[in-house]
Amino acid sequence: MAPRVDPVTSDTEIPARTSVVVVGGGIIGTSTAFFLARKGIPVVLCEKGHIAGEQSSRNWGWARKMGRDPREIPLAIEALKLWPQMNELTGAETGFRQCGIVYLCKTPDDMAKREAWLEEARPYQLDTRMLTRDELTNVLPGLTGEWLGGLYTASDGRGEPQKAAPAIATAAQKHGATVLQQCAVRGVETQAGRVSGVVTEKGRIACDSVVLAGGVWSRLFCGNLDLRLPQLKVMSSVMRTEPFNPGLETSCSGFGFGVRKRLDGGYNVASWSGNLHDIVPDTFRFFSEFLPSLKLQWRNLRLRVGGKFLEDWQVPRHWALDASSPFERVRTLDPEPYQPILDQARTNLTAAFPAFREMKIAETWGGVIDVTPDGVPVISAVDSVPGFFIATGFTGHGFGIGPGAGRLMAEIVAGETPVVDPTPFRFTRFSDGSRPLPSPLV
């Protein structure tokens, strides 16, 4: 079942020409369009389904610096500076609340891993600290069970995935952006090697630049331009409770569960340990690149062999722009959630917080996450196709850094000094022999 997302009113006119076309209306595409439009740059945002229909409405809603790959911490810091301003910047409710986040530790090994991360993150002077068992009870009232301690960041928070990207898209419109839904971009046109426009299912738009923020579809889109973007898909499941009051404000994850309070008084409950990867042809194409990250996380990932292999095999890898493209065939990716893992999450959560035994599940959903081999996104110009930019591969943490990533992408497109050094996010890292360090996939 797809979660209900705040609606956005599409513009009706398709401009014949603009400066930038953004492909994809998730948190990344909407934030990029918003920050471009605020600079007075003409921008058209095209979404094949509805705004935030895929990952950006289906995620847990955590916005964190904690636990992030050190390459990404500066961007996460900028994003967490932006989040508290987003309601004012958009004139709407994005749901951000600075609630703090805790990673619970059950074993000495868990403690050692968290302490090691804290050491790595020390140069960034975050407010993250280790909590003792007694301190845990102050931050997480009602916690029971044998926990050794936890890692805690008071300044991290939560946003509302079903509200944030729609609010940002509507705000982009107020700054002059055009937002088109049910409008798949079939591909990019070039003249003398550089971007000259896009072909959408509703017609052609001439433009100077294209930003691809297509989530799990980005690899396919790039393929038609003969660009190799190593990207795989991982399916994750979530449940939402009815509003109730177990007294938990701080988001936390522990042994086989994650929980965060929602603005509507309910909770999102899930588990990172139950992510599914369907074996598809790309699994083999990218196997060697993903292997180091897979090794880091094989316990948390289930591999599934089934009909998806054939389904993916049949998707064309190249197509002409004057006929229907693969993007028009699936308006919104809406996978079945994996119930056994949700049942496990429920058992683990209620063992840790007995007050959750009263929870009533209102809905469940699945979401497909786009992952890169090093767990870090691509936010980059593509040098071989001048005018083409990519912001994708957010590997399970793009919601929290979304506004920061959108701002960074807009600055790169505008040719301004970027808010953080974008070098770790360059597209060429997969092909220039630099062998970026692996990071857990989601």
Ligand X SMILES: Cc1cc2nc3c(=O)[nH]c(=O)nc-3n(C[C@H](O)[C@H](O)[C@H](O)COP(=O)(O)OP(=O)(O)OC[C@H]3O[C@@H](n4cnc5c(N)ncnc54)[C@H](O)[C@@H]3O)c2cc1C
25 lines the binding site for ligand X (CB under 6 A): yes
197 lines the binding site for ligand X (CB under 6 A): no
406 lines the binding site for ligand X (CB under 6 A): no
56 lines the binding site for ligand X (CB under 6 A): yes
256 lines the binding site for ligand X (CB under 6 A): no
Cβ atoms of residues 225 and 318 within 8 Å: no
Helices vs. strands in the chain: H and E counts, helices first = 13, 21
Distance CA 210, CA 23 (A): 7
Q: What are 439's strand-pairing partners?
A: none
DSSP state of 194: E
Residue of 54, 78, 160, 289 interacting with ligand X (CB under 6 A): 54
Distance CA 431, CA 433 (A): 6
367 lines the binding site for ligand X (CB under 6 A): yes
In whole angstroms, what separates CA 253 from the centre of its chain? 18
Contacts of 296 (CB under 8 A, 6+ apart): 438, 439, 440, 441
327 lines the binding site for ligand X (CB under 6 A): yes
Residue of 33, 168, 238, 294 interacting with ligand X (CB under 6 A): 238
- In the complex with ligand X, which residue's Cβ is closer, 148 or 170? 170
372 lines the binding site for ligand X (CB under 6 A): no
Residue of 8, 45, 48, 77 interacting with ligand X (CB under 6 A): 48
Distance CA 271, CA 60 (A): 10
| Burial class (CB within 10 angstroms; exposed 0-12, middle 13-18, buried 19+) of 42 | middle
369 lines the binding site for ligand X (CB under 6 A): yes
Residue of 5, 6, 45, 55 interacting with ligand X (CB under 6 A): 55
- Among 69-77, 145-153, 335-343, 390-398, the segment contacting ligand X (CB under 6 A): 390-398
3 lines the binding site for ligand X (CB under 6 A): no
Angle at which helices 398-414 and 27-38 cross, to 10°: 40
392 lines the binding site for ligand X (CB under 6 A): yes
- In the complex with ligand X, which residue's Cβ is closer, 59 or 241? 59
Distance CA 436, CA 99 (A): 33
Contacts of 82 (CB under 8 A, 6+ apart): 89, 403, 404, 407
Sign of the four-CA dihedral 184, 186, 189, 195 = positive
Residue 10 CB, nearest approach to ligand X (Å): 13
Residue number of the CB closest to ligand X reads 26
105 lines the binding site for ligand X (CB under 6 A): no
157 lines the binding site for ligand X (CB under 6 A): no
Cβ atoms of residues 410 and 39 within 8 Å: yes
- Among 42-50, 94-102, 147-155, 346-354, the segment contacting ligand X (CB under 6 A): 42-50
Distance CA 381, CA 196 (A): 15
185 lines the binding site for ligand X (CB under 6 A): yes
394 lines the binding site for ligand X (CB under 6 A): yes
- In the complex with ligand X, which residue's Cβ is closer, 150 or 404? 404
Distance CA 172, CA 244 (A): 34
- In the complex with ligand X, which residue's Cβ is closer, 150 or 377? 377
- Among 11-19, 336-344, 348-356, 395-403, the segment contacting ligand X (CB under 6 A): 395-403
62 lines the binding site for ligand X (CB under 6 A): yes
Where on the chain is the footprint of ligand X (CB under 6 A)?
A: 23-29, 46-49, 53-56, 58-62, 184-185, 213-215, 217, 221, 236, 238, 327, 367, 369, 392, 394, 396-400
